[in-house]
Amino acid sequence: MPCTTVLVGKKASYDGSTMIARNDDGFFDVKKLIVVDPKKQPRKYRSVIGQLEIELPDNPLRYTSTPSVSTKRGIWAANGINEANVGMTATETITSNPLVLGADPYVRFRKAESKKEKDVPGGIGEEDLVVLVLPYIRSAREGVLRLGELLEKYGTYEANGIAFNDKDECWWLETIGGHHWMARRVKDDEVVIMPNQLGIDHFDFDDAYGKKKNYLCSADLKQFVEDNHLDLNTDGNFNPRYVFGSHSDSDHVYNTPRGWFMGRYFCPTKFKWDGENADFNPESDNIPWSLVPEKKVTVEDVKYVLSSYYQGTPYNPYSNVAEPKKGMYRSIGIGRTGVMAVLQIRGYVPEAIRGVEWICFGSNAFNTVVPVYTNTDRMPKYLSEVALDVSTENFYWGSRLIGALADHNYGTSIQFIERYQMAVASQGHQIINEYDKKMIEAGRFDLMNEANEKLAAMARKETTNTLNNVVFDASKNMKNNYNRSDN
């Protein structure tokens, strides 16, 4: 699924927390935010796409999830934080190449062609991964290892990147062919910028097969590379992009420009991003996977880059300037996004309240992000009770409606969007600060549900107010308006 990911190490963030975030860019998927009770976690899981049945452990943890409202294509839980304060987002669709897939083909479901044959199950994929992994891990590293075991055992039918975080570490795993994988720990002082390409640009096999401090991989990965003549590097540095990734013209329209804009935002002066002799341009294949940002990174920074449509560049599709380059690259914040979540694990507060999930629905260019505490047994109805029919009674559809209206009236509606985003983010921080202090001082962590209800009520009020504004603005801009009164 086309997505964009940002990962933030604890020394790169404004408050010492780790953060992982991803746009889930499906096809206008209707999403909701729920809490999955251990009693409702399946013990025998069956996928829709792969038609694969997997036995699950008997000791699942409670976790948050943003599943699709329609279950015809499966659960598609997308992301969440479990009660051990481990976050997971799955997945970023990445890329591969014919050499890799010729050596280790994807494991795809095969329908029996006659009564004498049986269906052959496929592997696991984005539909399944959060449900199969998040309820059973107590650290980001454990997430990598559990998913790695599942990939080696069952295989996968697609190429994906998956992120995990706990209070100390962020890890990024990328699948390779049908059964192989590699993972790299994000350095504490760095941010990772990931469009829809295989992203890791350096891998240390000595560490992966030795101390396993910063690198992990499937047991036979190095031999797999050697046996199949996959290593295209010539300088002694093992760059997985050359070995496992793609090298297509479409990457320069669809993927690399997103990496360019995010790198440009986080490191505006460290590198030259524009003009002649730029270090990196929108079509550069060597934009770093990770960077040390020039300032500490906030939730709002993550939200901004994941909402980007190339503001301040010639590629902005909303520009009112006659610019021939506008709209030529795929934006980061696009219309069909279902959900974006920033999964924040805060090591400086008591364990009960470490997990905060900042959630938004619909097109990030026009929505806002609201935080909720995750170590709780339920989510407010405004976030969790969503149907397939359009409504103003929940955050998902309110966000979609605002985006659909504001997009067509960008020049006049953007002021309402900016005020909306500022209002919700400001009050979100205020309420979290208020309840952090209240719960720590009183030792009453059962107040999380009260806090979440207050956050949802605030989001509802601001969303309704903004919807009123953009509806009126759109009404004024209707093509059949006339200035002369009909009275």
3-state secondary structure of 173: strand
In 3D space, the residue among 358, 454, 456 whose CA is nearest the CA of residue 80 turns out to be 358
How many other β-carbons are positioned within 10 Å of the β-carbon of residue 222? Answer: 16
3-state secondary structure of 220: coil
Residue with tokens 């992982």: 20
Structure tokens at 380: 């407010």
3-state secondary structure of 316: coil
Is 360 in the active site?
Answer: no
Structure tokens at 172: 């990024």
In 3D space, the residue among 152, 206, 147, 212 whose CA is nearest the CA of residue 179 turns out to be 152
Q: In Å, what is the CA distance from 118 to each residue of 65, 110, 115, 350?
A: 34, 9, 7, 53
CB 360 within 8 A of CB 339: yes
CB 177 within 8 A of CB 106: yes
Pick the catalytic residue from 3, 170, 217, 267: 3
Q: Which amino acid is at 131?
A: V
In 3D space, the residue among 154, 53, 136 whose CA is nearest the CA of residue 88 turns out to be 136
How many other β-carbons are positioned within 10 Å of the β-carbon of residue 185? Answer: 21
Residue 69 phi, psi dihedral angles, 5° rounding: -65, -40
Q: Which amino acid is at 481?
A: N
Bridge partners (DSSP) listed for residue 357: 343, 372
Structure tokens at 286: 């060597």
> Catalytic residue positions?
3
